[in-house]
Amino acid sequence: MKHPSYIFVVGGVISGVGKGITSSSIAKILQDRGVRVTALKIDPYVNVDAGTMNPTEHGEVFVLDDGYETDQDMGNYERFLNTSLSSRNYMTTGRVYQAVIANERALKYKGACVQVVPHVPLEVVARIEAAQREANAEVTVIEIGGTIGEYENILFLEAARMMKLRDPDHVAFVMVSYLPTPGSLGEMKTKPTQHSVRTLNASGIQPDIVIARSTLALDEKRKQKISYFCNVSEDHVIAAPDIKSIYDVPLNFERENLSDKLGKILHVKLGAKNGGTKQWVQFTNKIKNAKDTVKIAMVGKYFETGAFVLSDAYLSVIEAVKYSACAYGKRAEIEWVNAGEFEKPARPRGASGAGGNPASVARLLRYDGIIVPGGFGSRGVEGKIAAIRFAREKKIPYFGLCYGMQLAVIEFARHAAGMPSATTRENNPKSDCCIIDIMETQREKMDKQDFGGTMRLGTYPCTLMRGTIAQGAYRKSTIHERHRHRYEVNPKFISQLEVAGLIFSGKSPDGTLMEIAELPKSEHPFFLGTQFHPEFLARPLQPHPLFTEFIKAAIAHAKAKRKK
């Protein structure tokens, strides 16, 4: 076994400047040089996992194979490294404290007084090492969430410092900093970076590399300044200007020979440098240069936060669409459609007649394909159902993900299978026409208000029916996909739905859970929903077969529209 090395990635000045992409890219450039890598994310929240967080605040909840609900950065790691990670690769303050307290209750500290320092950082170190061992990684990249100077991440920095002290030749620190260019000055400023490095120094940590994020590339003078004042050699200051595609970041890093520099700092022997793997370079060129577009509407509810549209809540879906469009040499143009728009405003009390005018679903005609992604609760549901109905009746390719599948089944039940009151138990607990019902295993948990990490989570097998769209796309009879839901298609109504023409083309191997619903190709070019989340397994170099099939149908639909 080669000596394990660790790279800690920390952020300075402001958050949101690409620490996750930096960490993914660092791991990737080392992987491209033949090094066995793994990547970890540390989030300073007290939440035990990301599953209980609202996506408008925190972005997408990314689910791993083993069912752990994590931060969206884990998705970036998996996509850049083309690998699957486990719960060992993610931790939060809540998770760490939970483990320390459980150990204390189990007398694991043998009667010692258990203290915040050193016991908490030691638990962090143990977890980092466990992830390294599980992946048998030569280099482990660890992203510490938050920004330097925040109270929340101090214990994690303490853990990193302890690891450096123990093994100074095999631990490196990368600081991702931001250099603002105030409009009034027109000059890029290094001072905030200098202050951040000093603050990091106060935790006993000196960065080896500074990644200088800025709108334009850093010039020599600024590199020198950062070098002098931050105590980092000039060639360890790496320019990271804004670029069009995140997938170019590893290639940009390599223009500054970052893998060689890290290899030297960590005493890691690297394989030949081939300018990024050929396939990756091809992919990045294709994704940047595609001119022809395929227009996709995402109909959902988590889009608005104040005056901003927050697409982060659906990050993996967006990327999955992009990869599949790219596979056909197209650029995905994704537009956000607020489902609420299609709902009739509530009728004022005492008023007669219909309520106000909802936006017409006919605006969906301009898209080549429609997606309803995952979701929870009743807001926007009737609008989503209206959009799905329109897609079905107008034969616009439709792809439903999790909630998007459940709502498609409800829509079909209401308007094509003679069950006008069809609904989901999630929104109508008392209804006697719950086409979508709570899973038996979930009922008790809900009653006990045991919400954290208790949904049907992670990877489950699914058997495909021959001759269906799903089976044609996967070209397999059994698949494995990641789940995150509490409700399922109610077995009581399955035969009624089937008789009306809906096909359950994917089922759990014992045949009890409906995992994919679709309409036959003779009825509709692509009307399909999955109870699982295929977006979590889409990778740049391995687009997801269902997304690719959907995009194919969308492209064909666009062509047919043009001919009309």
Nearest to 513 by CA among 535, 490, 529, 534: 490
Q: Which is nearer to ligand GLN, 53 or 290 (CB)?
A: 53
Q: Under the phi-then-psi rule, with left for phi > 0, alpha for psi from -120 to 50, and beta for the rest, what region is 467?
A: left
Residues 6 or more apart in contact with residue 270 via CB below 8 angstroms: 30, 33, 34, 35, 259, 260, 263
Q: Which is nearer to ligand GLN, 322 or 484 (CB)?
A: 484
CA distances from 74 to 24, 43, 177, 308, 376 (A): 9, 11, 21, 24, 22
Least Å distance between CB 468 and ligand GLN?
22
CA distances from 312 to 14, 21, 109, 243, 495 (A): 18, 14, 41, 18, 38
Least Å distance between CB 547 and ligand GLN?
16
Q: Which is nearer to ligand GLN, 283 or 487 (CB)?
A: 487
Residues in a beta bridge with 261: none
Query: Any idea of the CA torsion for 479, 480, 485, 491, to the nearest 10 degrees?
Result: 40
Q: Are strands 237-241 and 293-300 parallel, antiparallel or unpaired?
A: unpaired
Least Å distance between CB 554 and ligand GLN?
21
Backbone angles phi, psi at 144, to 5 degrees: -100, 115
How far apart are the C-alpha atoms of 81 and 542, rounded to whole Å?
12
How far apart are the C-alpha atoms of 399 and 517, rounded to whole Å?
10
Residue 533 annotated in active site: yes
Q: Which is nearer to ligand GLN, 81 or 538 (CB)?
A: 538
* 82: number of Cβ within 10 Å: 15
Residues 6 or more apart in contact with residue 12 via CB below 8 angstroms: 147, 148, 175, 176, 177, 178, 192, 193, 196, 197, 199, 200
Q: Count helices and strands (H / E) in the chain.
A: 18, 23
How far apart are the C-alpha atoms of 3 and 339, rounded to whole Å?
53
172 near 5, Cβ under 8 Å? Answer: yes
Q: Which is nearer to ligand GLN, 164 or 486 (CB)?
A: 486
Footprint on this chain of ligand GLN (rule: CB under 6 A): 374-376, 402-403, 406, 426, 484-487
Residue 535 annotated in active site: yes
536 near 482, Cβ under 8 Å? Answer: yes
264 near 303, Cβ under 8 Å? Answer: no
H helix or E strand, kind and range, residue 498 = helix 494-499
Chain length of the chain: 564
Q: Which is nearer to ligand GLN, 54 or 181 (CB)?
A: 54
Query: Any idea of the CA torsion for 185, 188, 194, 196, to the nearest 10 degrees?
Result: 90
Least Å distance between CB 490 and ligand GLN?
12
Least Å distance between CB 136 and ligand GLN?
33
Least Å distance between CB 413 and ligand GLN?
16
Least Å distance between CB 483 and ligand GLN?
8
Q: Which is nearer to ligand GLN, 30 or 410 (CB)?
A: 410
Listed in order, strand segments (DSSP E) in 53-208 are 62-63, 69-70, 90-92, 139-144, 171-178
The CA R_g of the chain, rounded to the nearest whole Å, is: 25
Least Å distance between CB 343 and ligand GLN?
18
Catalytic residue among 326, 402, 434, 462: 402
How far apart are the C-alpha atoms of 216 and 220, rounded to whole Å?
13
Least Å distance between CB 211 and ligand GLN?
34
Q: Which is nearer to ligand GLN, 75 or 525 (CB)?
A: 75
391 near 403, Cβ under 8 Å? Answer: no
Least Å distance between CB 61 and ligand GLN?
9
Residue 544 annotated in active site: no
Q: Which is nearer to ligand GLN, 69 or 73 (CB)?
A: 69
69 near 61, Cβ under 8 Å? Answer: yes
Q: Which is nearer to ligand GLN, 155 or 438 (CB)?
A: 438
Catalytic residue among 533, 544, 549, 557: 533
Q: Which residues are catalytic?
A: 402, 533, 535
